[in-house]
Amino acid sequence: MRAYSRTWCEISATEESLPQAPVSLNRAGTTMIVVGGLMAIVGAIALTNTFAATAATVYALGFFLIAGGIMNTIHAFTIRRWNLAVLDVLGAFLYFIAAIFTFRQPLATAATITVMLAALFMVGGGMRFFAALAMQPAHWGWLMVNGFVTFMLGVLLLFGMPLTGLTGPGLLVGVDLFLSGVTAIAFGFETRRAASRVTHGGIARLAG
């Protein structure tokens, strides 16, 4: 049985199992190309000014923390069990305290984010590298390069502290967005080619 499509996690579709595979694969491929292109553009913009990208990352975190506090507060007033409501209020309080710290101490927040992101990128990059090596999906070389570069950036930024704290989050986010976007574009084109192979295979069977 021949596999015709691989997406991020090597999603495979066959002629026998998916009669509408060409249409679905074309749509999936186009979506990945468009989303990957947008990710690559945003990543490239972030890399041109890593300090601004770091500031944007810090303030985005602050707004997310505020949103989390508001959601916990709303949930506390809608839940009927008082003990769970107390936990929601406590969680909202912690969210708001973290948001205040983020806005009042952006440099310390950036350093903390750098350490956390470096660790996450090291883990995520290693997983991508070994997943590509083990599964060998379409364009698995791109996935291996993506994982290796992400892992090494995490290592360099972690050992470059505290200097890398000023630009670390912006650099990490920019590189990861750019590489992930390029990988998504490559997978999207492979998916569209897979759809073409499914279509041509169906035509050949009808002609036969």
In a domain, 87, yes or no: no
The residues, any chain, with a CB within 8 Å of residue 1's CB and separated by 6 or more, are 14, 16
What is the predicted pLDDT for the residue at 130?
Answer: 84
In a domain, 85, yes or no: no
* pLDDT higher than 60, residue 205: no
In a domain, 93, yes or no: no
* pLDDT higher than 80, residue 82: no
Confidence label for 114 from pLDDT (cuts 50, 70 and 90): confident
Q: Mean pLDDT, to the nearest integer, of 97-111?
A: 86
* pLDDT higher than 80, residue 38: yes
What is the predicted pLDDT for the residue at 41?
Answer: 92
Domain that holds residue 132: 21-52+106-207
In a domain, 99, yes or no: no
Q: Is the dihedral of CA 113, 114, 115, 118 positive or negative?
A: positive
- DSSP-derived letter for residue 163 is G
* Cα→Cα distances 208→18, 20, 203, Å: 21, 20, 9
Tell which residue, 64, 61, 46, has the closest CA to residue 167.
46
DSSP of 81-99 = -HHHHHHHHHHHHHHHHHH
Give pTM, 2 decimals. 0.58
In a domain, 95, yes or no: no
* pLDDT higher than 80, residue 10: no
Structurally, the chain folds into a number of domains equal to: 1
Question: Residue 194 burial (CB < 10 Å; 0-12/13-18/19+)?
Answer: buried
Q: What confidence tens digit (pLDDT) does each residue in 45-77 have?
A: 888 888 888 888 888 888 988 988 888 888 878
In a domain, 101, yes or no: no
In a domain, 35, yes or no: yes
* pLDDT higher than 60, residue 203: no
Question: What one-letter code names the amino acid at 192?
Answer: R
In a domain, 68, yes or no: no
d(CA 9, CA 207): 34
The residues, any chain, with a CB within 8 Å of residue 145's CB and separated by 6 or more, are 179
Percent share of the chain, pLDDT over 90: 1
Q: Mean pLDDT, to the nearest integer, of 133-144?
A: 74
Confidence label for 113 from pLDDT (cuts 50, 70 and 90): confident
In degrees, rounded to 5, the angle at the alpha carbon of residue 173 between the alpha carbons of residues 172 and 175 is 65
Tell which residue, 12, 57, 68, 63, has the closest CA to residue 176.
57
What is the predicted pLDDT for the residue at 3?
Answer: 44
* Cα→Cα distances 201→14, 19, 20, 128, 162, Å: 11, 12, 13, 32, 57
Percent share of the chain, pLDDT over 70: 78
